[in-house]
Amino acid sequence: WVLMVTAQTPTNIAVIKYWGKRDENLILAINDSISLTLDPTHLCTTTTVAVSPAFNQDRMWLNGKEISLSGGRYQNCLREIRARASDVEDKNRGIKIAKKDWENLHVHIASYNNFPTAAGLASSAAGFACLVYSLAKLMNVQEDNGKLSAIARQGSGSACRSLYGGFVKWVMGKEENGSDSIAVPLVDEKHWDELVIIISVVCSRQKETSSTSGMRETVETSALIEHRAKEVVPKRIIQMEEAIQKRDFATFTRLTCADSNQFHAVCLDTSPPIFYMNDTSHRIISCVEKWNRSEATPQVAYTFDAGPNAVLIARNRTSAALLLQRLLFYFPPNSETDLNSYVIGDKSI
């Protein structure tokens, strides 16, 4: 027999960024972060996990290709979930797995991303969140999403925030064992549903410096990172939470853009410097800044993760339509900087 579970998890985009770890193995951050989880129909990971007495080892396939599960991150997630497994019974098929049997049973995992992997579109976030969630369902783990987020965090830091919809905060926590480093939902996806997210794919190639090694180098060499983590982000987190509660788009935009720019500034302050954005990314920033300044209130916020692609958050559908027109004007199809823009749902987050 084979028992299977399939789950789907969207990715999330940080508006106050996580960059830098205080513990590399447990994946504990040096600052809190806030993100918004995208609509599940776009940029998501679908994972099927299966268990059978016929499987003689844990195996995983990512986008159809087998990958190794020997890395610490996968092993940490599998171990933490297995340790919390409970009895499972499928009466119709006469299948019974007792809690203690899980130690000797192996799983097969098949995971698909519907977007480019490692192109700065936070694929690891959706991937590990989905892996942990589907394994927890398969093994009948009786923990809330907060506990599961702390397990997903050990796969990839940003993954802990994908366990919830809407706006989510990852609290860095103080404990050495990471037990209080979890995601907490701030508001659900209905709270601010006029926002529209547009992803402008500047380049879908794999990034040169992974987030993991990039942030390690920043923590080791940047003089600015400490100021960011200790002085700037704590204040921004408070202001951002308030802006989200009040749906204050002007403050939201100011903080989101400033935080993205500061994150890229600490990357530049790293030795050797890390360049995630390119000329096209910079032109998108100029185009949005110019437009926002010409209006009574800002129309669009921009944010860039560890790659050149722009995540643009429009205040409503009208500004999203105007933004698309502007992007088409500045970056016409078939030009050198041909952009691919994806609108993420009408009611986005």
What one-character DSSP code corresponds to residue 231?
Answer: I
Inter-residue contact 80 to 25 (CB < 8 Å): no
Closer CB to ligand DP6, 62 or 324, in the complex: 62
Q: Give whichever of 153 and 315 is closer to ligand DP6, judged by the CB atom.
A: 153
Tell me the two tokens of residue 79: 């171990």
The one among 145, 158, 222, 270 contacting ligand DP6 by CB under 6 A: 158
Peptide bond just before 40 cis, omega within 30 deg: no
CA–CA separation, 51 and 59 (whole Å): 11
**Nearest distance, CB of residue 109 and ligand DP6, angstroms:** 18
Task: Pick one of 17, 84, 236, 315: the residue that binds ligand DP6 (CB under 6 A).
Answer: 17
CB 321 within 8 A of CB 194: no
Handedness of CA 144, 150, 155, 156 (dihedral sign): positive
Q: Are 233 and 274 in contact (CB under 8 A)?
A: no
Q: Which residues contact 264 (CB under 8 A, 6 or more apart)?
A: 276, 277, 304
Our finding on whether 212 is near ligand DP6 (CB under 6 A) is yes
The nearest distance, CB 163 to ligand DP6, in angstroms, is 14
Query: Among the candidate windows 153-161, 197-205, 243-251, 266-274, which touches ligand DP6 by CB under 6 A?
Result: 153-161
In angstroms, what is the minimal distance from the CB of 112 to ligand DP6? 19
- Residues linked to residue 65 through DSSP beta bridges, in sequence order: 62
Rounded to whole angstroms, the Cα distance separating 191 from 41 reads 19
Q: Does 14 bind ligand DP6 (CB under 6 A)?
A: yes
122 binds ligand DP6 (CB under 6 A): yes
Q: What is the distance between the alpha carbons of residues 116 and 190, in angstroms, rounded to a whole number?
A: 28
Name the residue nearer to ligand DP6 (CB basis): 102 or 252.
252
Nearer to ligand DP6, 88 or 243 (CB): 243
Q: Which range touches ligand DP6 (CB under 6 A), out of 48-56, 103-111, 154-162, 313-321?
A: 154-162
Q: How far is the CB of 99 from ligand DP6 (least distance, A)?
A: 30
Number of residues that bind ligand DP6 (CB under 6 A): 15
Applying CB under 6 A, which of residues 97, 305, 308, 327 lies at the interface with ligand DP6?
305
Q: Is 156 in the site for ligand DP6 (CB under 6 A)?
A: yes
Q: Is 32 in the site for ligand DP6 (CB under 6 A)?
A: no
CA 201 to centroid of chain Cα atoms: 16
Neighbours of 269 (CB within 10 A): 16
What residue has token string 């990471």? Answer: 178
CB of 4 to ligand DP6, least distance (A): 27
Minimum separation from the CB atom of position 104 to ligand DP6 (A): 30
Which of 177, 167, 232, 206 minimizes the C-alpha distance to 15?
Answer: 167
Query: Half-sphere exposure of residue 6, counting CA atoms within 13 Å on the CB side?
Result: 6
Q: Does 18 help bind ligand DP6 (rule: CB under 6 A)?
A: yes
Shortest separation between residue 332's beta carbon and ligand DP6, angstroms: 29
Q: How far is the CB of 261 from ligand DP6 (least distance, A)?
A: 13
- Chain positions contacting ligand DP6, by CB under 6 A: 14, 17-19, 27, 33, 122, 124, 156-158, 211-212, 305-306
